[in-house]
A = this chain, B = another copy of it.
Protein backbone atom coordinates (compact mmCIF):
# COMPACT_ATOMS: atom_id res chain seq x y z
CA UNK A 1 0.00 0.00 0.00
CA UNK A 2 2.99 2.28 0.03
CA UNK A 3 4.90 2.38 -3.19
CA UNK A 4 2.21 2.68 -5.80
CA UNK A 5 3.17 5.23 -8.35
CA UNK A 6 0.11 7.14 -9.47
CA UNK A 7 -0.82 10.35 -7.70
CA UNK A 8 -4.49 9.72 -8.40
CA UNK A 9 -4.43 7.21 -5.64
CA UNK A 10 -2.91 9.54 -3.09
CA UNK A 11 -6.00 10.40 -1.05
CA UNK A 12 -6.76 6.71 -0.85
CA UNK A 13 -3.44 6.01 0.78
CA UNK A 14 -3.77 8.95 3.12
CA UNK A 15 -7.21 7.95 4.30
CA UNK A 16 -5.81 4.52 4.93
CA UNK A 17 -2.90 5.94 6.90
CA UNK A 18 -5.12 8.27 8.87
CA UNK A 19 -7.47 5.48 9.79
CA UNK A 20 -4.59 3.44 11.15
CA UNK A 21 -3.34 6.38 13.18
CA UNK A 22 -6.78 7.29 14.50
CA UNK A 23 -7.60 3.72 15.35
CA UNK A 24 -4.37 3.37 17.27
CA UNK A 25 -5.23 6.45 19.33
CA UNK A 26 -8.75 5.20 19.96
CA UNK A 27 -7.53 1.88 21.27
CA UNK A 28 -5.41 3.62 23.87
CA UNK A 29 -8.34 5.67 25.07
CA UNK A 30 -10.72 2.74 25.31
CA UNK A 31 -8.20 0.46 26.98
CA UNK A 32 -8.13 2.86 29.91
CA UNK A 33 -11.78 1.96 30.42
CA UNK A 34 -11.30 -1.78 29.87
CA UNK A 35 -13.17 -1.61 26.60
CA UNK A 36 -12.34 -2.76 23.10
CA UNK A 37 -13.23 -0.53 20.18
CA UNK A 38 -16.14 -2.75 19.24
CA UNK A 39 -17.40 -2.98 22.80
CA UNK A 40 -17.38 0.80 22.95
CA UNK A 41 -19.21 1.02 19.64
CA UNK A 42 -21.98 -1.18 21.00
CA UNK A 43 -22.25 0.73 24.27
CA UNK A 44 -22.64 4.02 22.45
CA UNK A 45 -25.68 2.68 20.60
CA UNK A 46 -27.52 1.52 23.69
CA UNK A 47 -29.79 3.20 26.20
CA UNK A 48 -30.99 2.02 29.57
CA UNK A 49 -34.68 1.86 28.82
CA UNK A 50 -35.87 0.24 25.65
CA UNK A 51 -32.55 -1.17 24.52
CA UNK A 52 -31.69 -2.49 21.10
CA UNK A 53 -32.01 -5.90 19.50
CA UNK A 54 -28.81 -7.66 18.50
CA UNK A 55 -29.92 -7.61 14.89
CA UNK A 56 -30.21 -3.82 15.03
CA UNK A 57 -26.71 -3.53 16.44
CA UNK A 58 -25.44 -5.81 13.69
CA UNK A 59 -27.03 -3.72 10.96
CA UNK A 60 -25.76 -0.43 12.34
CA UNK A 61 -22.21 -1.53 13.02
CA UNK A 62 -21.81 -3.77 9.96
CA UNK A 63 -20.69 -6.63 12.17
CA UNK A 64 -21.96 -10.14 11.65
CA UNK A 65 -24.78 -11.10 14.02
CA UNK A 66 -22.65 -13.79 15.61
CA UNK A 67 -20.00 -11.19 16.32
CA UNK A 68 -22.58 -9.03 18.09
CA UNK A 69 -23.68 -12.04 20.13
CA UNK A 70 -20.15 -12.43 21.41
CA UNK A 71 -19.50 -8.76 22.05
CA UNK A 72 -22.71 -8.62 24.08
CA UNK A 73 -21.62 -11.80 25.89
CA UNK A 74 -18.45 -10.09 27.03
CA UNK A 75 -20.23 -6.89 27.99
CA UNK A 76 -22.72 -8.93 29.98
CA UNK A 77 -19.92 -10.75 31.79
CA UNK A 78 -18.52 -7.34 32.71
CA UNK A 79 -22.02 -6.42 33.91
CA UNK A 80 -22.16 -3.38 31.66
CA UNK A 81 -25.27 -4.55 29.79
CA UNK A 82 -28.13 -6.99 30.29
CA UNK A 83 -30.18 -9.03 27.86
CA UNK A 84 -33.89 -8.75 28.46
CA UNK A 85 -36.65 -10.55 26.59
CA UNK A 86 -38.37 -8.49 23.95
CA UNK A 87 -41.99 -8.08 25.04
CA UNK A 88 -43.26 -8.15 21.46
CA UNK A 89 -41.12 -10.86 19.86
CA UNK A 90 -39.97 -13.95 21.70
CA UNK A 91 -37.17 -14.50 19.19
CA UNK A 92 -35.58 -11.21 20.05
CA UNK A 93 -33.40 -10.09 22.93
CA UNK A 94 -33.09 -6.46 23.91
CA UNK A 95 -29.72 -5.27 25.13
CA UNK A 96 -29.91 -2.54 27.75
CA UNK A 97 -27.28 -0.68 29.74
CA UNK A 98 -26.87 -1.43 33.42
CA UNK A 99 -26.27 1.55 35.73
CA UNK A 100 -22.60 0.54 35.78
CA UNK A 101 -22.62 0.41 32.02
CA UNK A 102 -24.20 3.83 31.72
CA UNK A 103 -21.49 5.35 33.90
CA UNK A 104 -18.70 3.57 32.06
CA UNK A 105 -20.08 4.63 28.73
CA UNK A 106 -20.43 8.28 29.75
CA UNK A 107 -16.85 8.44 30.97
CA UNK A 108 -15.37 6.64 27.99
CA UNK A 109 -17.36 8.79 25.61
CA UNK A 110 -16.20 12.01 27.26
CA UNK A 111 -12.59 10.86 27.19
CA UNK A 112 -12.87 9.79 23.58
CA UNK A 113 -14.45 13.03 22.52
CA UNK A 114 -11.75 15.04 24.20
CA UNK A 115 -9.04 12.88 22.70
CA UNK A 116 -10.41 13.21 19.18
CA UNK A 117 -10.79 16.96 19.56
CA UNK A 118 -7.19 17.24 20.61
CA UNK A 119 -6.00 15.11 17.75
CA UNK A 120 -7.99 17.08 15.19
CA UNK A 121 -6.99 20.45 16.61
CA UNK A 122 -4.28 20.90 13.97
CA UNK A 123 -7.03 21.99 11.59
CA UNK A 124 -8.64 25.40 11.91
CA UNK A 125 -12.33 25.92 11.43
CA UNK A 126 -12.19 26.61 7.71
CA UNK A 127 -10.02 23.57 7.04
CA UNK A 128 -12.28 21.49 9.21
CA UNK A 129 -15.34 22.47 7.16
CA UNK A 130 -13.55 21.96 3.86
CA UNK A 131 -12.41 18.53 4.91
CA UNK A 132 -15.89 17.50 5.99
CA UNK A 133 -17.32 18.67 2.67
CA UNK A 134 -14.76 16.78 0.62
CA UNK A 135 -15.08 13.62 2.64
CA UNK A 136 -18.85 13.80 2.40
CA UNK A 137 -18.69 14.04 -1.37
CA UNK A 138 -16.32 11.14 -1.54
CA UNK A 139 -18.47 9.07 0.75
CA UNK A 140 -21.55 9.63 -1.36
CA UNK A 141 -19.60 8.59 -4.44
CA UNK A 142 -18.34 5.43 -2.79
CA UNK A 143 -21.78 4.44 -1.63
CA UNK A 144 -23.21 4.90 -5.09
CA UNK A 145 -20.34 2.91 -6.51
CA UNK A 146 -21.04 0.21 -3.95
CA UNK A 147 -24.75 0.09 -4.78
CA UNK A 148 -23.90 -0.28 -8.46
CA UNK A 149 -22.20 -3.51 -7.54
CA UNK A 150 -18.66 -2.41 -8.20
Q: Restricting to A93-147, which residues have a CB under 8 Å from any CB of B?
A: 109, 112-113, 115-123, 127-128, 130-132, 134-143, 145-146
Task: Point out the residue from B2, B20, B130 that lies within 8 Å of A130, measured CB to CB.
Answer: B130
Task: Point out the residue from B12, B109, B128, B145 that lies within 8 Å of A11, measured CB to CB.
Answer: B128
Please tell me if the beta carbons of A119 and B141 are within 8 angstroms of each other in the complex: yes
Q: How many residues of A are in contact with the other chain, CB < 8 A?
A: 58
Looking at the assembled complex, report how far the CB atom of A149 sits from the nearest CB atom of chain B, in whole angstroms. 10
Looking at the assembled complex, report how far the CB atom of A37 sits from the nearest CB atom of chain B, in whole angstroms. 8
Q: Is A85 an interface residue (CB 8 A)?
A: no
In chain B, what residue has the closest Cβ to A1? B41
Please tell me if the beta carbons of B138 and A44 are within 8 angstroms of each other in the complex: no
Cβ-closest 8 pairs across A and B: A122-B141, A19-B19, A14-B135, A21-B142, A131-B134, A1-B41, A12-B116, A9-B116
24 pairs, CB–CB < 8 Å, chain A vs chain B? A1-B40, A1-B41, A3-B45, A8-B120, A9-B120, A10-B128, A11-B128, A11-B132, A14-B136, A14-B139, A18-B139, A19-B19, A20-B62, A22-B142, A24-B62, A24-B146, A25-B145, A115-B150, A119-B142, A121-B141, A122-B140, A123-B141, A131-B134, A131-B135
What is the interface of chain A, defined by CB distance below 8 A to chain B?
1-4, 6, 8-12, 14-22, 24-25, 40-41, 44-45, 60-62, 109, 112-113, 115-123, 127-128, 130-132, 134-143, 145-146, 150
